[in-house]
Chain A
Amino acid sequence: MSAQPKVPTVENESLEDRLYTVKYEDPGESHLDVTIPGICAEKCTTYDCTSVCPANVWRKGEDGVPQIAYENCLECSSCRFACPHGNVEWSYPETGSGVTYKNG
């Protein structure tokens, strides 16, 4: 017997593969935005939107304004609640577009 049992490997799928499990219809334009880009660029130092997002929608942009990969969005709304500047514009993707969960 070995001293330490080997922990079985759990294969965590990549985010890309995970997002691929969710049915998605592109609403055509982003349902997410920042209200005032200047707040992100000049006031924000923490970029909480990028830390809390479970789907890597929010990414630090070179000009200090986050880039938004809205087509990754799982519509959880973490970014909206997390932004300390209340600077996240969030609207529901219209007429049934966006994510469709089968299990949920």
Chain B
Amino acid sequence: MTEIADETIDRTDRDTATPDYDEAFDAIVVGAGLAGSAAAVTMAKQDLAVLLIERGRYPGAKNVFGGVLYTPTLRELVDIDDAPLERYIGERRFGMLTDADETAVSISPGQWHDPPHNDSYTVLRGEFDRWFAEQAVDAGATLVTETTVTDLVREGGRIVGVETDRPDGTIRAPYVVLAEGGNSLVSEGANLKKTERPENIAVGVKEVLEFPDHENAIEERFRLTDEAGVSYHYFGEGAVGDAFGGGFIYTNEDTVSVGLAYRLSDAATSQPDPEGTLNAFKTHPAVAPLLRDARTVEYTAKTIPEGGADSIPELVHDGAVIVGDAAGLVLNNGVHLEGTNMAVESGYHAGNAVAEAADSGRPDSEVLGQYREDLTDSFVVENLERYEWLMETVKNDRELLFETLPRAMADAGSEYFQMDRAPKGEHADAARDRLLSAVGGYTGAAKLAFRYRKLI
């Protein structure tokens, strides 16, 4: 067991001489991912004695994500100047793929090249999460790794600690922050949340690739200078077949992350397996030139809770709060793919509520409830609620949006730019007719615009 204790903690009630952790800590955080470390930093800064428990060999060892870390809250909590960031996002590109075509939109505002770079950076979790947990330790938290929380300890209904897989592994503390991730075995086992339906879970697979024979492959293929990077998102049948989801390419410093995520309910039916779907995406004619001659550095997989606002479990329990992916705090509305910022935000608010509860001595159902209120007032719940309608609408329109429309856009594009001896007007009319036929004429187009009016 790795222990990194910090002598600066000045809790008079803490007996540092005994290896028995009981009552030594004010709060236990389950999981040293983004939400857990954010909570730990927040509480340690307010002089709580915090135990941060991680089941992996080091923080990040069990963690996978697509690739972009959003830092607006994070940089308020810690100084990210020394953080292991890979590249900032200087360009975002959205590509619609049919089996052979791509129709894409790219944006690269000049200001993204200036600090703070729109608070968007690629990172590798094995490095970043380790660094972030170190910031919690520097603030006074105690980190233990290779230790798995297997259950919660209750006393008269109240959660008063955790069971671990270590010998005599019961550790008691007045507060527990559950930051165990989307595969929430502890929270579910303790009946604090229900198992999500496969319709609300995405399976994600990812490869980190390197280009051993091409030193400047990343800079040249993605048109990058210095620390600039890109975020490419892909939709349509060329990305994920007829599943509901999408593919991505993100540039790291010396590698690229390529992967995809789509609903488990689709993965169970009409698809090749996730690995086969990834292989097909990587060999798409619009994607393959970006990835040729690459070698796999790492292959990873994870599940993503994408149930939105309706899937958020009860966040506050007697003696415990739930944060991050465990609380289902992920936004995927097609254009925005966010979870890292929500994890940090939730950890921050939960940490503050626990610190408040520990200091005030008031009944904690009341004080911990502040976490629920703060999160509801924050961008996290607001954004999830804002796009709740969108997911339903997109699901109902999925064939139109992911198959019919991408094909019509590709056809209309080639029609519009068709080089022959016919007058431009004829091609423009034909291109318009092709698009209109896909959406059901002017009436259909108006209905479509109405269905998505809240997007703008």
Point out residues on A near B: beta carbons under 8 Å.
Answer: 5, 7-13, 15, 17-19, 21-22, 46, 48, 51-56, 74-78, 80-82, 84, 86, 90-96, 98-104
Task: Name the residue of chain B whose CB is nearest to the CB of A15.
Answer: B275
B203 at the interface (CB under 8 A from A): yes
Q: Is the CB of B183 within 8 A of A90?
A: yes
Q: Is the CB of A100 within 8 A of B274?
A: no
Which one of B111-119, B285-293, B414-422 is at the A interface?
B285-293
Q: Is the CB of B301 within 8 A of A55?
A: yes
A-B contacts besides A5-B285, A91-B185, A102-B124, 5 pairs, CB < 8 Å: A11-B294, A21-B296, A51-B268, A77-B182, A101-B298
Q: Is the CB of B166 within 8 A of A103?
A: no
B269 at the interface (CB under 8 A from A): yes
- Least CB distance from A60 to B in Å reads 13
| Bound form: Cα–Cα A46–B267 in Å | 12
Q: Which residues of B have CB within 8 Å of A104?
A: 60-61, 63-65, 124-126, 129, 298, 300
Residues 276-287 of chain B: 1 if any A CB is under 8 Å from the residue's CB, otherwise 0? Answer: 001100110101
B369 at the interface (CB under 8 A from A): no
B93-150 interface (Cβ within 8 A of A): 124-127, 129, 145-148, 150
Residues 56-93 of chain B: 1 if any A CB is under 8 Å from the residue's CB, otherwise 0? Answer: 11001111110000000000000000000000000000
B136-170 interface (Cβ within 8 A of A): 145-148, 150, 165-166
Q: Is the CB of B56 within 8 A of A82?
A: no
B230-288 interface (Cβ within 8 A of A): 255, 257, 264, 267-269, 271, 273-275, 278-279, 282-283, 285, 287-288
Q: Is the CB of B291 within 8 A of A10?
A: yes
B42 at the interface (CB under 8 A from A): no
**7 contacts across the A-B interface (CB closer than 8 A):** A10-B282, A21-B297, A21-B299, A22-B300, A52-B264, A78-B203, A99-B61
| Bound form: Cα–Cα A37–B273 in Å | 23
Q: Is the CB of B185 within 8 A of A103?
A: no
What is the total number of residues of chain B having a CB less than 8 Å from a CB of chain A?
64
Point out residues on B near A: beta carbons under 8 Å.
Answer: 55-57, 60-65, 124-127, 129, 145-148, 150, 165-166, 182-183, 185, 195-198, 201, 203-205, 207-208, 255, 257, 264, 267-269, 271, 273-275, 278-279, 282-283, 285, 287-289, 291-292, 294-303
| Bound form: Cα–Cα A15–B276 in Å | 10
Q: Is the CB of A48 within 8 A of B268?
A: yes
Q: Is the CB of B55 within 8 A of A103?
A: no
Partner of B283, one of A7, A22, A56: A7
| Bound form: Cα–Cα A22–B297 in Å | 9
Q: Is the CB of A76 within 8 A of B125?
A: no
Main secondary structure of the interface of A (DSSP, over half): loop
Q: Is the CB of A18 within 8 A of B296?
A: yes
| Bound form: Cα–Cα A53–B289 in Å | 28
Partner of B300, one of A8, A51, A84, A101: A101
| Bound form: Cα–Cα A12–B283 in Å | 9
Q: Which residues of A have CB within 8 Å of B148?
A: 92-95
Q: Is the CB of B198 within 8 A of A18?
A: no
Task: Name the residue of chain B whose CB is nearest to the CB of A51.
Answer: B268
| Bound form: Cα–Cα A52–B182 in Å | 17
| Bound form: Cα–Cα A22–B65 in Å | 15
| Bound form: Cα–Cα A22–B145 in Å | 19
Q: Which residues of A have CB within 8 Å of B269?
A: 51
Partner of A101, one of B126, B185, B271, B285: B126
| Bound form: Cα–Cα A10–B221 in Å | 15
The answer to whether residues A8 and B289 also contact, given A76-B203, A104-B65 and a CB cut-off of 8 A, is yes
Q: Which residues of B have CB within 8 Å of A74?
A: 299-302
- Least CB distance from A99 to B in Å reads 7
| Bound form: Cα–Cα A82–B264 in Å | 6
| Bound form: Cα–Cα A103–B150 in Å | 26
Q: Which residues of B have CB within 8 Å of A18?
A: 207, 275, 296, 299
Q: Which residues of A have CB within 8 Å of B147?
A: 95-96
Q: Is the CB of B146 within 8 A of A22?
A: no
